């Protein structure tokens, strides 16, 4: 019987939830790495028992943990993330130049084909690569050394590389997104990068249509359509159908086009989901009503999904990596809030049930559909 | 050579798979840097968690105490206190107090 496994990163550790295909009863294990800030966990596509986790604390810095048995046991692997060459500088909040300084890993993305090959998106923004299951890390330096790199400036959340999308049919093509810097694409396995922000408009920038500086919150891509990417930006939901050369706003009738996560339906490439948040300075749902919004038209036309979600006095946020979608039929969605509630839907988002409450602040949710 | 005691905070105990104190063999003229080198050599998983990788500076929120003194700001070449060298006192690796 197939199984669904949720990998939940929180401010105080990681939790693993498992269920059968019905997704009604869930078993919870954890916390793993209790007390550590677990920004993200991710499983390898071709070996679902190979998991990577990124625990971090202010005290002791970054650790990378690896499991080869689906999260029952873990082994610390390599934690040395050293920028290649002389790191140079990027812009600081006060406009001065600031040395590139590794702080932590935000996102882990194993290769679609090789469980030992894994990428890490880090703060200060850079992409690292491990070909030995996380034991050693090497910077994919051409990204940070992009001609615009010295102009990247952090937002309040830090200069973080938080999204890594890999085309499963051509792993040399990848997209990454960096808060307050933008989106970038490589077609040669990271040897060179292009800015992928054509047509984006951000009113908080001196030049709203600048090449870099757009605060991309999350990207999502259906694996069958690598030229089409969806974006939740710091204001605006957008799509591109030409690999980032030109983006079009598809916020349509959303109650707010501010938000953090965005995901694509696994079986319907034009069905996408977002979680509207009131504004950039009010990170909670409009009117205190937690709603997931679904578009079956690739954006533009949205429907509110509210059944089972709190429709009053909810002032929690859903962070950029805290919405996940499984590959079952019908697909399921999983959403973790900053208030520590984990909601699940086994019917494509039509209805939701809290499967855990009172967890620590939820930072990330990933789901594995295991045959 | 002599054996010294080093106490670790809970996070590092779990990471290294040890109890509160570990014992390390160091030279008879051991310094703060030498004992941390010995700690990392015996428990490689602790590299980067007490001192930064590379430059090997102490992480900002880690403190080194011994014999009722804060040795955190002492130079890496500072000799260990005599009480630590004879095993009477541990060198204490401490995480800064924090909220949240």
Is a pLDDT exceeding 80 seen at residue A205? yes
On whether residue B100 sits in a domain, the answer given is: no
C-alpha span between A152 and A108 (Å, rounded): 22
Share of chain A above pLDDT 70, in %: 100
- The band of B98, judged by pLDDT with boundaries at 50, 70 and 90, is confident
Count of C-beta atoms within a 10 Å radius of residue A26: 16
- The band of A161, judged by pLDDT with boundaries at 50, 70 and 90, is very high
Contact check, Cβ <8 Å, B11/A35: yes
A58 and A191 co-located in one domain: yes
Q: Which of A62-66, A68-72, B93-97 has the lowest mean pLDDT?
A: B93-97
A9 and A57 co-located in one domain: no
Give tens-digit pLDDT for A241-258. 999 999 999 999 999 999
Q: Extract the tokens encoding A23.
A: 């997704």
Suggest the residue from B43, B44, B53 to mutate for an interface test with chain A (most A CBs closer than 10 A). B53
Q: Extract the tokens encoding A78.
A: 């390599």
Structural domain for B26, as ranges: 2-95
C-alpha span between A325 and B13 (Å, rounded): 36
Structural domain for A320, as ranges: 1-28+226-234+250-371
Number of compact structural domains in chain A: 2
Q: Note the pLDDT of residue A118.
A: 98
The vertex-B50 CA angle with A97 and A16, nearest 5°, equals 95
Q: Which helix (H) or strand (E) holds B66?
A: strand B62-66
Suggest the residue from B12, B14, B48 to mutate for an interface test with chain A (most A CBs closer than 10 A). B48
Contact check, Cβ <8 Å, A76/B95: no
On whether residue B21 sits in a domain, the answer given is: yes
A188 and A320 co-located in one domain: no
Count of C-beta atoms within a 10 Å radius of residue A248: 14
Q: Is A65 on the interface with B (CB under 8 A)?
A: no
Is this prediction's ipTM beyond 0.90?
Answer: yes
Kindly give the pairing relationship between strand A13-20 and strand A3-10: antiparallel
Give tens-digit pLDDT for B79-88. 999 999 999 9
- Tell me which residues of chain A, numbers 82 to 111, contact chain B at a CB-CB cutoff of 8 Å: 82
C-alpha span between A59 and A143 (Å, rounded): 29
Q: Note the pLDDT of residue A371.
A: 84
DSSP-assigned letters across all residues of A322-341: -EEE--SSS--EEEE-TTS-
Give tens-digit pLDDT for B11-51. 999 999 998 899 999 999 999 999 999 999 999 999 999 99
Share of chain B above pLDDT 90, in %: 89
A264 and A358 co-located in one domain: yes
Give me the helices (H) in A87-185, please: 141-144
Count of C-beta atoms within a 10 Å radius of residue B94: 16
A154 and A301 co-located in one domain: no
A283 and A332 co-located in one domain: yes
Mean pLDDT of A8-22: 97
On whether residue B19 sits in a domain, the answer given is: yes
The enclosing domain of A53 has a CATH number of 2.130.10.10
Is a pLDDT exceeding 60 seen at residue A1? no
Q: Which strands sit side by side in the sheet containing A229-233, from one edge to the other?
A: A216-220, A229-233, A237-240, A247-249
The enclosing domain of B33 has a CATH number of 3.10.20.30
Q: Note the pLDDT of residue A70.
A: 97
Q: Note the pLDDT of residue B66.
A: 97
The vertex-A295 CA angle with A294 and A299, nearest 5°, equals 130
On whether residue B59 sits in a domain, the answer given is: yes
SS (H, E, C) B31-86: EHHHHHHHHHHHCHHHCCCCECCCCCCECCCEEEEECCEECCCCCCCCECCHHHHC
On whether the CB atoms of residues A262 and A238 are closer than 8 A, the answer is no
Is the Cα torsion angle A88, A90, A94, A95 positive or negative in sign? positive
A115 and A166 co-located in one domain: yes
Contact check, Cβ <8 Å, A58/B98: yes
On whether residue A244 sits in a domain, the answer given is: no
DSSP-assigned letters across all residues of A253-274: T-S-SEEEEEEE-SS-TT-EEE
A333 and A366 co-located in one domain: yes
Under DSSP, is residue A112 helix (H, G, I), strand (E, B) or coil? coil
Q: Note the pLDDT of residue A95.
A: 86
A4 and A63 co-located in one domain: no
């Amino acid at each position: 019987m197939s199984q669904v496994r949720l990998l939940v990163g929180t401010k105080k550790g990681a939790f693993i939830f498992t269920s059968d295909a019905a997704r009604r009863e869930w078993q919870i294990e954890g916390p793993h790495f209790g007390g550590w800030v677990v920004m993200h966990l991710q499983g390898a596509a071709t070996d679902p028992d190979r998991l990577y986790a990124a625990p971090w604390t202010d005290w002791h810095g970054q650790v990378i943990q690896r499991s080869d048995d689906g999260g029952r046991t873990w082994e610390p692997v390599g934690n040395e993330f050293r920028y290649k060459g002389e790191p140079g500088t990027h812009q600081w909040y006060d406009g001065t130049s600031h040395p590139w300084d590794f702080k932590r890993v935000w996102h882990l993305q194993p290769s679609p084909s090789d469980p030992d090959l894994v990428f890490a998106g880090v703060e200060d923004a850079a992409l690292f690569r491990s070909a030995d299951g996380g034991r050693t890390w090497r910077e994919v330096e051409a990204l940070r050394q992009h001609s615009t790199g010295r102009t990247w400036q952090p937002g309040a959340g830090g200069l973080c590389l938080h999204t890594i999308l890999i085309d499963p049919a051509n792993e040399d093509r990848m997209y990454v997104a960096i808060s307050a810097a933008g989106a970038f694409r490589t077609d040669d396995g990271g040897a060179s990068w292009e800015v992928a922000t054509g047509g984006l408009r951000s009113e908080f920038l001196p030049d709203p249509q600048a090449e870099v500086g757009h605060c991309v919150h999350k990207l999502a891509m259906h694996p069958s359509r690598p030229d089409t990417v969806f974006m939740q930006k710091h204001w605006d939901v957008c799509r591109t159908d030409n690999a980032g050369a030109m983006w079009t706003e598809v916020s349509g009738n959303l109650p707010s086009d501010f938000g953090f996560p965005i995901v694509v339906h696994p079986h319907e490439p034009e069905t996408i989901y977002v979680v509207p948040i009131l504004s950039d300075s009010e990170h909670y749902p409009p009117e205190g009503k937690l709603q997931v919004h679904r578009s079956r038209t690739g954006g533009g036309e949205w429907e509110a999904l509210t059944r089972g979600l709190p429709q009053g006095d909810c002032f929690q946020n859903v962070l950029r990596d805290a919405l996940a979608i499984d590959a079952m039929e019908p697909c399921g969605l999983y959403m973790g809030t900053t208030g520590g509630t984990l909601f699940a839907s086994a019917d494509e988002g039509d209805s939701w049930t809290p499967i855990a409450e009172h967890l620590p602040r939820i930072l990330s949710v990933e789901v594995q559909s295991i045959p | 050579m002599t054996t010294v005691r080093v106490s670790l905070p809970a996070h590092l105990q779990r990471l290294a798979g040890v109890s509160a104190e570990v014992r390390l063999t160091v030279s008879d003229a051991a310094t703060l840097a030498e004992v941390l080198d010995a700690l990392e050599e015996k428990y490689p998983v602790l590299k980067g968690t007490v001192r930064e990788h590379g430059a090997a500076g102490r992480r900002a929120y880690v403190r080194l105490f011994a014999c009722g003194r804060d040795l955190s700001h002492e130079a890496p070449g500072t000799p260990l206190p005599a009480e630590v060298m004879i095993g009477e006192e541990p060198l204490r690796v401490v995480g800064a107090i924090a909220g949240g």
